[in-house]
């Protein structure tokens, strides 16, 4: 049983391990990079832009950059030329790893797993040495005037050295030559002057040739002009004769034509006059017809305008009437509502006024009843009291009557009296006025003096009836 299980699991384990090894060792090189797999075989396997498998623990993977490397090569110090003129060279170089197996093997020995900057530094030092060697073998004018030849010599000198490193030179371009003594600038000035001199000489030669050509051309032009003028004069004479002949013929034909034209003109004028008259008549008829059409059209427009205006006015009047009806209806409803509310308010106010009036009437009635009762009681008392009450009332009003009699004197600012006993006379006048009032009451049936005398007498009798007479000679007795 165990053996059977092992027999089944063992192949699965082997297959899984193989797949794991393949997954861990699978590599794929980009187009600008060479993958070198070494370890088992004597010769490394090289992968460029394709995939492969690296067996773990038994093989290793190394990388080599294959892309172009751009290097700016400048001489670090001045280099003497064959003429012992110190110059500096600035150049731009492109190199890359060789594509052959031998070149790639050499590059792997020198630059395996090396970045671009490290490769650039090594190649820069190598090319600077080659440039220095070539500069020392050439003259300055040769290098400046023929940079291509200088570049070719540098490449011829540098290519074998680069090949020993497994590199190949893609391009070499000289950017500039610089010297500290302005020799190159002076060479340029000399060349400029030489070119300017040659240009001045060429310009002078050209001007001389131009002057000669212009003089020759002027002579030929003058000869041609004179010959042309003679030919022109002859032609002009022939033309004048021919023109005179043509003018004669033309005048004759013109006279005939003028006569015929005048006759034809008269006929045409007659025809034109008739046609113009007919045209005027037709135009007048057309104008009359047009006027009639305009009148009809105007009548139609006016009729349509009046009808439309009437319809619009009718519709407007209907709308205004309807709006006015609605407005008046709303106003009537609002007025009715206001009247209803006002009626309710007036009813409420009437109820309140009624209640208030009832309360006031009740109060007045109570007051009147109280006053009537008081008057009635007072009248009964007066009836019981008789003259005593009247005397009491007169006595109560007597000061008021005296005051009324003396009141006119209070309106006088100052009274001046002459003679003796004037004050007594004044008081006597006041008392006289009071006596006149008393006389007036007496004339009306109220004798205040008699009432007072009777009251005094009655009071004395009443007192005598209350007590027995204390006189020694009185022999009668009053009953209590």
Given a cut of 60, whether residue 301 has pLDDT beyond it is: yes
* Tokens 């090189």 sit on residue: 29
Per the structure block, which two tokens stand in for 111?
Answer: 């630059």
Residue 476 pLDDT > 60, yes or no?
Answer: no
Residues 6+ apart with CB under 8 A from 305: none
* Per-residue model confidence (pLDDT) at position 220: 85
More confident residue, 477 or 453: 453
All domains of the chain in start order, with CATH: 17-62 (no CATH), 67-181 (3.30.479.30), 388-466 (no CATH)
Cβ atoms of 141 and 86 within 8 Å: the answer is: no
Q: Can you say whether residue 421 is alpha, beta or left, with left for phi > 0 and alpha for psi between -120 and 50 degrees?
A: left
Classify burial at 441, counting beta carbons within 10 Å of its beta carbon; exposed 0-12, middle 13-18, buried 19 or more.
middle
**Residues forming beta bridges with residue 169, ordered by sequence position:** 95
Please give the Cα distance from 476 to 468 (Å, whole number).
8
Q: Give me the pLDDT at residue 384, please.
A: 56
8 A C-beta contact, residue 136 and residue 67: no
Residue 148: pLDDT over 50: yes
Question: How far apart, in whole angstroms, are the C-alpha atoms of residue 85 and residue 79?
Answer: 8
Coil vs helix vs strand at 24: helix
Report the distance separating Cα 391 and Cα 370, nearest Å.
25
Bridge partners of residue 65, in order along the sequence: 33
Task: Please say if the pLDDT value at position 92 is more than 80.
Answer: yes
Mean pLDDT of 339-350: 80
The rounded distance, in Å, linking the Cα atoms of 466 and 459 is: 11
* Top-ranked range on mean pLDDT: pick from 295-309, 394-408, 460-474: 295-309
pLDDT at residue 471, as a whole number: 47
**Top-confidence residue, 442 or 205:** 205
Average pLDDT score over the chain = 76
Choice between 360 and 73, residue whose per-residue pLDDT is larger: 73
More confident residue, 314 or 192: 314
What average pLDDT does the segment 54-68 reach? 82
For 384-445, what is the HEC assignment? HHCHHHHHHHHHHHHHHHHHHHHHHHHCCCCCCCCCCCHHHHHHHHHHHHHHHHHHHHHHCC
Please say whether the beta carbons of 26 and 53 come within 8 A: yes
Vertex 122 angle, CA 119 and 126, to 5° = 135
326 pLDDT higher than 80? yes
pLDDT at 83: 83
Residue 479's pLDDT is what? 38
Helix axes 448-466, 422-443, angle to 10 degrees: 80
Please compute the mean of the pLDDT values over residues 70-97 and round it to a whole number: 88
Whether residue 179 contacts residue 80, with contact meaning beta carbons closer than 8 Å, is answered with: no
Which pLDDT belongs to residue 475? 45
269: number of Cβ within 10 Å: 11
Q: Which residues have CB under 8 Å from 478's CB, separation 6+?
A: 464, 465, 466, 467, 468, 469
State mean pLDDT over 318-327.
81
Structure confidence at residue 264 (pLDDT): 80
């Amino acid at each position: 049983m165990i053996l059977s299980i092992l027999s089944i699991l063992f192949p699965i384990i082997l297959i899984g391990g193989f797949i794991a090894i393949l997954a861990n060792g699978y590599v794929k090189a980009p187009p600008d990079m060479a993958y070198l797999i070494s370890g088992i075989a004597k010769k490394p396997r090289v992968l460029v832009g394709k995939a492969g498998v690296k067996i773990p623990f038994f093989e290793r993977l190394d990388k080599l950059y294959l892309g172009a490397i751009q290097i700016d090569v400048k001489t670090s110090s001045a280099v003497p030329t064959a003429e012992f003129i110190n110059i500096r060279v600035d150049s731009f170089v492109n190199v890359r790893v060789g594509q052959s197996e031998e070149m790639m093997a050499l590059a792997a020995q020198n630059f395996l797993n090396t970045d671009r900057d490290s490769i650039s530094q090594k190649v820069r030092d190598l090319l600077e040495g080659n440039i220095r060697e070539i500069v020392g073998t050439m003259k300055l004018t040769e290098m400046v005037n023929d940079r291509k030849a200088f570049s070719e010599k540098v490449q011829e000198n540098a290519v074998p050295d680069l090949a020993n490193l497994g590199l190949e030179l893609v391009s070499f371009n000289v950017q500039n030559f610089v010297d500290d003594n302005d020799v190159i600038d002076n060479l340029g000035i000399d060349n400029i002057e030489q070119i300017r001199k040659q240009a001045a000489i060429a310009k002078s030669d050209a001007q001389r040739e131009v002057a000669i050509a212009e003089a020759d051309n002027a002579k030929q032009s003058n000869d041609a002009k004179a010959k042309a003028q003679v030919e022109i004069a002859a032609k002009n004479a022939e033309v004048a004769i021919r023109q005179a002949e043509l003018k004669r013929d033309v005048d004759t034909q013109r006279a005939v034509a003028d006569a015929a034209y005048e006759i034809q003109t008269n006929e045409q004028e007659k025809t034109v006059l008739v046609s113009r008259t007919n045209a005027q008549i037709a135009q007048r008829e057309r104008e009359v017809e047009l006027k009639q059409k305009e009148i009809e059209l105007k009548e139609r427009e006016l009729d349509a305008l009046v009808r439309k205006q009437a319809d619009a006015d009718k519709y407007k009047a209907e709308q205004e009437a309807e709006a006015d009806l609605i407005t008046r209806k709303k106003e009537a409803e609002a007025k009715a509502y206001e009247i209803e509310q006002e009626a309710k308010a007036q009813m409420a106010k009437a109820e309140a006024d009624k209640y208030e009036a009832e309360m006031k009437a009740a109060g007045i009635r109570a007051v009147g009843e109280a006053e009537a009762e008081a008057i009635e009681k007072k009248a009964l008392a007066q009836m019981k009291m008789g003259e005593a009450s009247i005397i009491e009332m007169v006595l109560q009003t007597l000061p008021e009557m005296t005051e009324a009699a003396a009141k006119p004197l209070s309106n006088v600012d100052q009274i001046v009296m002459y003679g003796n006993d004037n004050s007594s006379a004044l008081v006597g006048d006041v008392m006289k006025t009071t006596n006149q009032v008393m006389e007036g009451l007496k004339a009306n049936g109220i004798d205040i003096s008699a009432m007072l005398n009777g009251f005094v007498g009655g009071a004395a009798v009443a007192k005598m009836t209350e007590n027995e007479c204390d006189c020694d000679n009185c022999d009668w007795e009053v009953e209590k």
